[in-house]
């Protein structure tokens, strides 16, 4: 029995028990001791061994021999691969300057050490461009921080004590599987469940109220709820006076959001908006679980802000089972930069600010030189699959196909992005390394341990970083990839029982155990000291009638696992929209807009709102005829806060193919 943790980009972060026979993983199952994940794990990770030993696993460094994108490589030694990478880096620096090197590091499916701490030290010292993590959660995270600072979110385990559960833009049955049964338990115990989602997800199907709004209109709905409660004198004025700044300005901004106006914008009946607002305000304790579905559009920042303040207006804090659950990623006081012997945060911030800033969502435009800046001469991708996962996929692929671009991809498997690389470097999986993993869906910190030997010649991100650093004569003391030493430095006086429960259920109650981190411990709706704009709705003008969503599915984590078990590559369409277009179930259809066109079978789906269609997130190029996915139809515009992605602003037309 070997106990470790699943480090994939999922809130659950299960403790896992890995059976190893003759040096190979034969079984992955739940390990005991984790209050959130005890007992069972998801089907994907049960079959994770299939990915570890996949025929598409990268086992040695590879050099490209065919055209970009063709995936034709020959193996080479690590020395040869690194020689070539070093030469290309020196060439880029000499010809175009260091900003022409773009390190695209995401690593959301790795542990703390898998993250960018050591890598950023390298790229910062070289003066390479700085790629900011905006593809996911930046908008929701900034909205939360602007209002609450670093106040800890409610403990998801405490939802069982709630009498009202409001799930907004989240699909926990798929994307946070251990949370869904806790919601069910609350409902069984009499809690009212309300779900805000354009689709009738499994959790929406069980809810008393399903507010099937039009995508991107959350801000109208939330402002109307707040205004309705305010004009009917139902808001908690005493709580607001004691704990919240900017209430008057906020309410003045909401003034024109009458129920009828909001109903017209978001497509939810006015009576239902009023009823849900009244039920929510009058039931205690009430818990809001905000997901990430509502951030992925032009109004994402305003949406998250207007939703996150609802518990403040209702005074829904102070009791176990109250408050708001969003990402807990900042809960663990663990940061790989703590292991940096030369850390000086002010210097680091100044050095980073001096680098060319790149928004992840603009990668395609940057590669295609639409942003008239320093060209990208060298792209270094680690822990990400932008060819499949970024918006504006046609630009990303065109950019990756440039002959004058040198691309390095450090990967576990030969992804769509890796197929465009000049050099592919083999990466370890979390079954092969020492690491720490913070959860963003529970108050648990865990240690990842190697349960098998390295597969092939794979190396960790830190090992690759340090090998490059040494070639650029950077100090070996700073660039030491020894994971155990780093973990000791990070954990110093913090022994780690396993799994380590950072905060016991029932002990993280907002405005009781944890407060907004501003000096006065008050929440901020609007504040003269900050540039906190008030939520605003922007309509999306498009001649394409259908909103294309591309949410998470139970099959994959982003694009991981799709190589052998992809979600069905179909476009879900409401039967009314299908009938209008003469489309039958399973019929091949074209889905298009001005940017791209993809061909897939139609799947008639009553769980969608009319006017919406869905192609799953995480497909690989080869899964769709024409080698493009939903991401080709997604715009690379940015949200109204923190430069977030706008995947769900894709607007399309669908037509039958004869």
Ligand X SMILES: Nc1nc2c(c(=O)[nH]1)N[C@H]1C(S)=C(S)[C@@H](COP(=O)(O)OP(=O)(O)OC[C@H]3O[C@@H](n4cnc5c(=O)[nH]c(N)nc54)[C@H](O)[C@@H]3O)O[C@H]1N2
Selected from 82, 99, 122, 170, the binder of ligand X by CB under 6 A is 170
3-state class of 272 per DSSP? helix
Q: How far is the CB of 216 from ligand X (least distance, A)?
A: 5
In whole angstroms, how close is the CB of 318 to ligand X at the nearest point?
Answer: 26
Number of C-beta neighbours around residue 353 at 10 A: 9
In the bound complex, what is the minimum distance in angstroms from residue 560's beta carbon to Mo ion? 12
Smallest gap from Cβ 304 to ligand X, in A, equals 10
Cβ distance to Mo ion smaller for residue 505 or 618: 618
109 near ligand X, rule: CB under 6 A = yes
Q: Look at residue 169 and give its three-state secondary structure.
A: coil
How does 609-639 read in b/e, with b if 16+ C-beta sit within 10 Å? bbebbbbbbbbbbebbeeebbbbbbbbbebb
DSSP assignment of 210-256 equals EE-PPTT-HHHHHHHHHHHHHHTT-S-HHHHHHHEE-HHHHHHHHTT
Q: Which residues pair with 612 in a beta bridge?
A: 547
CB of 113 to ligand X, least distance (A): 9
Instruction: List residues near Mo ion by CB under 5 A.
Output: 136
Site for ligand X in 621-640 (CB under 6 A): 630-631, 634
**Residue of the chain from 64, 68, 243, 617 that contacts ligand X (CB under 6 A):** 617
x/- map, 118-137, ligand X, by CB under 6 A = -----------------xxx
Shortest Å distance, C-beta 617 to ligand X = 4
- Helix, strand and coil content of the chain, in percent to the nearest 5, comes to 35, 20, 45
Report the chain's terminal Cα–Cα distance, integer Å: 56
CB of 58 to ligand X, least distance (A): 9
The partner in contact with residue 61, picked from Mo ion, ligand X, none with C-beta cut-offs of 5 to 8 angstroms by kind, is: none
Helix or strand holding residue 17 (H, E):
strand 15-21
Query: Residue 136 or residue 621: which is nearer to ligand X going by CB?
Result: 136
What, of ligand X, Mo ion, none, does residue 106 touch, CB below 5 to 8 Å by kind?
ligand X
**Least spacing, CB of residue 111 vs ligand X, in Å:** 8
For the CA atoms of the chain, what is the radius of gyration?
A: 24
The string of DSSP codes covering 597-649 is EEEEEEEE-TTBPTTEEE--TT--GGGSBTS--GGGTS-----SSTT---GGG
Cβ atoms of 58 and 414 within 8 Å: the answer is: yes
**Shortest CA distance to 501 belongs to which of 56, 15, 10, 54?**
15
The answer to whether 322 and 191 have CB atoms below 8 angstroms apart is no
Site string for ligand X, 207-226 (x = CB under 6 A): --------xx-x--------
* Contacts to ligand X from residues 577-596, by CB under 6 A: none
Angle at 600 between CA 216 and CA 45, to 5 degrees: 75
- Sign, CA dihedral 254-259-260-264, equals positive
Taking CB within 5 to 8 Å according to partner kind, which of Mo ion, ligand X, none is near residue 201?
Answer: ligand X
508 binds, among Mo ion, ligand X, none (CB under 5 to 8 A by kind): none
Helix (H, G, I), strand (E, B) or coil at 423: strand
Residue 315 binding ligand X, by CB under 6 A: no
Strand order in the sheet with 323-325: 209-211, 192-196, 164-168, 286-290, 323-325
Q: How far is the CB of 301 from ligand X (least distance, A)?
A: 13
Query: Is there a contact between 251 and 230 (Cβ–Cβ < 8 Å)?
Result: yes
Identify residues 455-514 at the interface with ligand X (CB under 6 A).
461
**Nearer Cβ to ligand X, position 215 or 246?**
215
Can you say whether the dihedral through the CA atoms of 237, 240, 241, 246 is positive or negative? Answer: negative
Distance CA 530, CA 523 (A): 12
Please report how close the Cβ of residue 558 comes to Mo ion at its closest, in angstroms: 7
Q: Which does 630 bind (CB under 5 to 8 A by kind): Mo ion, ligand X, none?
A: ligand X
- Is the CB of 322 or the CB of 412 nearer to ligand X? 412
For ligand X, the binding residue among 243, 410, 447, 500 (CB under 6 A) is: 410
Least CB distance from residue 547 to ligand X, whole Å?
Answer: 8
For the beta sheet containing 423-426, the strands, ordered from the edge strand earlier in sequence to the opposite edge, are: 73-75, 62-64, 423-426, 406-411, 378-382, 101-105
Q: 216 vs 246, which CB is nearer to ligand X?
A: 216
CA-to-CA distance for 293 and 311, rounded, in angstroms?
A: 19
Only one of the segments 179-187, 192-200, 529-537, 574-582 lies at the binding site for ligand X (rule: CB under 6 A); that segment is 192-200
Provide the 10 A C-beta neighbour count for residue 494: 12
Quick one: what does residue 439 bind among Mo ion, ligand X, none, with the CB cut-off 5 to 8 Å set by partner type? Answer: none
Question: What's the min distance (Å) between Cβ of 137 and Mo ion?
Answer: 6
358 binds, among Mo ion, ligand X, none (CB under 5 to 8 A by kind): none
List binders of ligand X among 532-571 (CB under 6 A).
549-552, 554, 556-560
Answer for the pair 63, 73: CB distance below 8 angstroms, yes or no. yes
The binder of ligand X chosen from 13, 302, 415, 465 (CB under 6 A): 415
User: By C-beta, is 140 or 247 nearer to ligand X?
Assistant: 140
Q: Which stretch binds ligand X (CB under 6 A): 288-296, 311-319, 363-371, 529-537?
A: 288-296
Interface with ligand X, residue 618, by CB under 6 A: yes
Binding site for ligand X (CB under 6 A): 9-10, 106-110, 114, 135-137, 168-171, 174-175, 196-199, 201, 215-216, 218, 291-294, 296-297, 382-386, 389, 410-413, 415, 427, 461, 549-552, 554, 556-560, 617-618, 630-631, 634, 647-648
């Amino acid at each position: 029995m070997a106990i470790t943790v699943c480090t994939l980009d999922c809130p659950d972060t299960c403790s896992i028990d890995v059976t190893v026979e003759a040096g190979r993983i034969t079984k992955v199952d739940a390990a005991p001791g984790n209050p959130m994940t005890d007992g069972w794990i998801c089907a994907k990770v049960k079959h994770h061994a299939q990915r570890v030993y996949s025929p598409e696993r990268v086992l040695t460094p590879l050099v490209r021999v065919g055209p970009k994108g063709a995936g034709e490589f020959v193996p080479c030694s690590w020395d040869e691969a690194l020689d070539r990478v070093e030469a290309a880096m020196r060439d880029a620096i000499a010809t175009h300057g260091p900003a022409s090197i773009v390190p695209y590091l995401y690593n959301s499916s790795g542990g703390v050490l898998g993250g960018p701490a050591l890598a950023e030290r390298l790229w910062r010292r070289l003066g390479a461009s700085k790629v900011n993590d905006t593809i996911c959660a930046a908008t929701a995270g900034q909205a939360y921080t602007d209002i609450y600072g670093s106040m800890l979110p409610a403990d998801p385990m405490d939802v069982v004590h709630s009498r009202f559960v409001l799930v907004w833009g989240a699909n926990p049955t798929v994307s946070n599987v251990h949370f869904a049964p806790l919601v069910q338990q609350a409902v069984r115990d009499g809690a009212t469940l309300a779900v805000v989602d354009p689709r009738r997800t499994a959790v929406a199907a069980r809810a008393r109220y399903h507010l099937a709004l039009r995508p991107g209109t959350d801000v109208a709905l939330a402002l109307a709820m707040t205004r309705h409660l305010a004009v009917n004198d139902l808001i908690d004025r005493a709580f607001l006076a004691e704990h919240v700044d900017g209430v008057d300005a906020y309410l003045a901004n909401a003034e024109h959001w009458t129920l009828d106006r909001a109903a017209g914008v978001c497509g939810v009946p006015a009576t239902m908006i009023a009823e849900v607002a009244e039920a929510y305000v009058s039931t205690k304790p009430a818990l809001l679980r905000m997901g990430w579905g509502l951030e992925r559009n032009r109004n994402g920042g305003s949406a998250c802000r207007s939703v996150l303040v609802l518990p403040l207006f209702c005074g829904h804090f102070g009791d176990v089972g109250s408050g708001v659950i969003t990402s807990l990623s900042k809960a663990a006081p663990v940061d790989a930069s703590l292991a940096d012997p030369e850390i000086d945060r002010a210097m680091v911030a100044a050095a980073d600010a001096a680098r060319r800033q790149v928004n992840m969502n603009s990668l395609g435009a940057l590669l295609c030189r639409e942003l008239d800046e320093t060209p990208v001469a060298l792209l270094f991708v680690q822990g990400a699959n932008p060819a499949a996962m970024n918006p504006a996929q046609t630009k990303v692929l065109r950019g990756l196909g440039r002959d004058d671009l040198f691309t390095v991809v450090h990967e576990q498997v030969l992804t769509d992005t890796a197929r465009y690389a000049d050099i592919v470097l083999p990466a370890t999986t979390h079954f092969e390394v020492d690491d720490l993993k913070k959860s963003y869906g529970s108050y648990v910190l865990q240690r990842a341990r190697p349960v098998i030997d390295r597969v092939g010649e794979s190396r960790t991100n830190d090992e690759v970083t340090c090998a490059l650093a040494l070639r650029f004569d950077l100090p070996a003391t700073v660039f030491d990839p020894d994971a155990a030493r780093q973990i000791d430095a990070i954990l110093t006086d913090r022994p780690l029982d396993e799994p380590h429960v950072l905060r016991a259920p029932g002990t993280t109650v907002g405005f009781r155990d944890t407060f907004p981190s501003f000096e006065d411990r008050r929440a901020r709706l609007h504040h003269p000291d900050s540039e906190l704009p008030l939520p605003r709705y922007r309509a999306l003008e498009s001649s394409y009638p259908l909103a294309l969503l591309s949410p998470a599915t139970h099959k994959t984590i982003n694009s991981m696992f799709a190589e052998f078990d992809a979600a069905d590559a179909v476009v879900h369409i409401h039967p009314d929209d299908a009938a209008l277009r003469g489309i039958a179930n399973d019929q091949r259809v074209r889905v298009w807009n001005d940017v791209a066109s993809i061909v897939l079978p139609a799947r008639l789906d009553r769980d969608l709102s009319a006017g919406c269609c869905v192609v799953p997130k995480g497909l690989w190029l080869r899964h769709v005829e024409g080698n493009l996915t939903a991401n080709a139809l997604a715009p690379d515009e940015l949200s109204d806060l923190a430069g977030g992605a706008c995947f769900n602003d894709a607007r399309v037309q669908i037509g039958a193919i004869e």
